[in-house]
Each structure stands twice: as structure tokens, then as C-alpha cells.
Amino acid sequence: MDIDRYKNFLLSRIPSAKLVSGGREINCRCMYCSDSKNPRSGHFYISIPKGDEPSKFNCFKCSSHGWVTTQKLIDWGIYDPEIAMDLNSHNKKVMKSPNYMRDMGYGSFNIKYDSITDDILTRYKLDYINKRLGTSLTYEDCIREKIVLNIKDVLRRNPIKLTRSEYIIECMDSSFIGFLSYDNAKLNLRNLEINELPKSISSRYVNYNVMEKEDSTNWEFVVPTHLKELYAAKDFGRYKTSDGKMPVAFSTTTHSTGGNSGSPVMNADGELIGINFDRNWEGVGGDIQYLPDYQRSIIVDIRYVLFIMDKYAGAGYLLDEMEIEE
């Protein structure tokens, strides 16, 4: 991460921003509270990161604090795609550093999950999973496979401090099913969709339009300006289909599991046609039982990968080292 560039960006985009603490922090008016009456002073501080440290913010008046992330740049109205990309990469690097892992307790915290409360909601969730996946799981199976039917069971069995009201927990419990990570360190939640399981899911689905998925309020779905320009001009180069479309992703019947993100997807001739990165909802039960009529892997089309490298990133020279079949 270019620290000087990041620092100058904050100074130029945040009104009343100024360097303090010997250049280690930026002081400005708070992004969340009314702060001081003097427009040239404030209680809000943003740290300038060093090494594997994150950039943090803190207000000494309203106590708002946390990491500076891409989403925060959007919330503060100072989003810049290039700065956001650098910041996102830096934060990912920080989260993998030994200091961060030690400070956060990763690797040592173990979520205990050895019992399930038998109530109406829990029985409904179990019945829902079995009907949706065509299985006959029991409570013991769910404990063994780390499927959390009752979030309150986890809260009761572990020293977890609630930062939200009990009502929020009740809402979460009625709307989500949990899945413990393999090392019992994290709990991932999946939305409990109340609808009928389709008789079959198309074995092949192709997505062509990134623009339809844009959400400017969520950093994961912000579409960079240059990419918008390429789409508006339909400047897809040699990677477009015969009818002028740019294929982005497609689904397959390949059976994948957690950790398969980034796996190469080959055709019958051993040629790389895509990269696996996700599953549909029905696919999350594949570790227990694979159902080919319902479970799909989601693959980014290799033509889109090459398009991004060549037309968007300007790294077409890398393609010269590849053997590409058209």
C-alpha cells in the first residue's frame, strides 16, 4: 500500500483534515456525530498505517471506532476505486499477519457446540433442511456436521458478549441457519429462504451483465468507472461471444466444497474454461450429500478473466505467455 498516497488522499478529500501526532494520524471533524462547534477542529482521528497495521479511526466524543475499509470510504462520501483497491489489499494482508491473528485470538478460540435445544423453531429448521436437500439428518448429524440450528445454543455454551439486544438475536435465529468453520473458530450464517425447492435447477446458467449487479452503497458491488466505460462502448475485444455479449459467469454440476474457490475448471479437452468461486444455496449441503439435480458451482468465465486482464487492467502482455484457443 502506498502510504503517502493514502495519506494525501485523506487530506485532500476530507474537509478540515490535518496531520497530527508527528504525521502518524489525521484529525478532522467526526463522520458520525456533531463533533465540536469549531469547524477547524474535531475529535475524529484516522491512523496512518505502518507495516502490517490497519488504518483505524476513532472519535473521542461519540466513541465511533473501527478499521478504515472500502465500505467506510463509501459511507464517508470519499470513495475512490484505486484507493479502495489498495486499502482492501492492505487489510487482507493485515488479517493474515501473525500479530493480527494473535491479537484477535484466531487459532485459539474454539466455539463449543455439543447440544441442540429441541423446540418448534429448531424442528422446523431441521425439517426444512431435510426437505430442501433430500436428506434425513438428525440432531446428532447436525452437531457432527457443524450445522447450527439454534444460534442461542452457541451463545449459551460460549463466553460471547452480546453487543446487540436479545430481540436482534431472536430475529437472527428465526431467519438464519449457522455453519461452523472446520476449526470451530467462526460461525457463518445462511439466510433461511422459505419457499419450495424447485423440481430441478438448470444445469447451465450464464450471466452476461455485471452492470445489473451494481450497488454503489456496498464496496463489494461497486463497478469501477473504467469498466463502465468499456461496457458502454461494448469494447470487449476478442473475448465477446459471436452475438457481441461479454460472458461473466456460468454454473456447472461440478461438486465443490469450502476451499475450492480459485480451483481451475476444465472442459473435456483439458482446457481451462473458468475459475470456481461460489455455490448456490442448495450447494452448501453437498458436503453431506451431493444432489446433482439441485447443487451447482458458480464459475467465472475465463474469457471474462482475460478481458479484465487485457482491456481493463492493461496487462495484455501477460496473454502473450499463454496459449489461447479461440
What is the predicted pLDDT for the residue at 200? 47
Kindly calculate the radius of gyration of the chain based on its CA atoms and give it in whole angstroms.
24
What is the predicted pLDDT for the residue at 164? 56
What is the predicted pLDDT for the residue at 31? 87
pLDDT band at 304 (very low <50, low <70, confident <90, very high): very high
CATH topology of domain 3-104: DNA Primase; Chain A (3.90.580)
pLDDT band at 34 (very low <50, low <70, confident <90, very high): low
Give CA angle at 259 (55, 141), nearest 5°.
115
| 264-279 pLDDT tens trace | 999 988 999 999 998 8
**pTM of whole model > 0.85?**
no
Q: Number of helices and strands (H, E) in the chain? A: 10, 13
Is a pLDDT exceeding 80 seen at residue 262?
yes
- Give 4 or 108, the one with higher predicted confidence: 4
Residue boundaries of the structural domains of the chain = 3-104, 120-191, 206-321
- Give 191 or 1, the one with higher predicted confidence: 1
Cell numbers given for 47:
491512523
Q: Please give the single-letter amino acid code of residue 158.
A: N
Q: What are phi and psi of 191, to 5 degrees?
A: -65, 135
Instruction: Give whole-number Cα distances, 200 to 64, 125, 192, 283, 291, in Å.
Output: 48, 22, 19, 13, 10
Mean pLDDT over each residue of the chain, to the nearest integer: 82
In which region does residue 234 sit, left (phi positive, over 0), alpha (psi from -120 to 50) or beta (all else)?
A: left
Total Cβ atoms within 10 A of residue 131: 11
Is a pLDDT exceeding 60 seen at residue 79?
yes
- Give 15 or 159, the one with higher predicted confidence: 15
Is a pLDDT exceeding 90 seen at residue 33?
no
What are the residue ranges of helices labelled H in 76-119?
Answer: 81-95, 98-104
Give the separation between CA 293 and CA 253, rounded to whole angstroms.
8
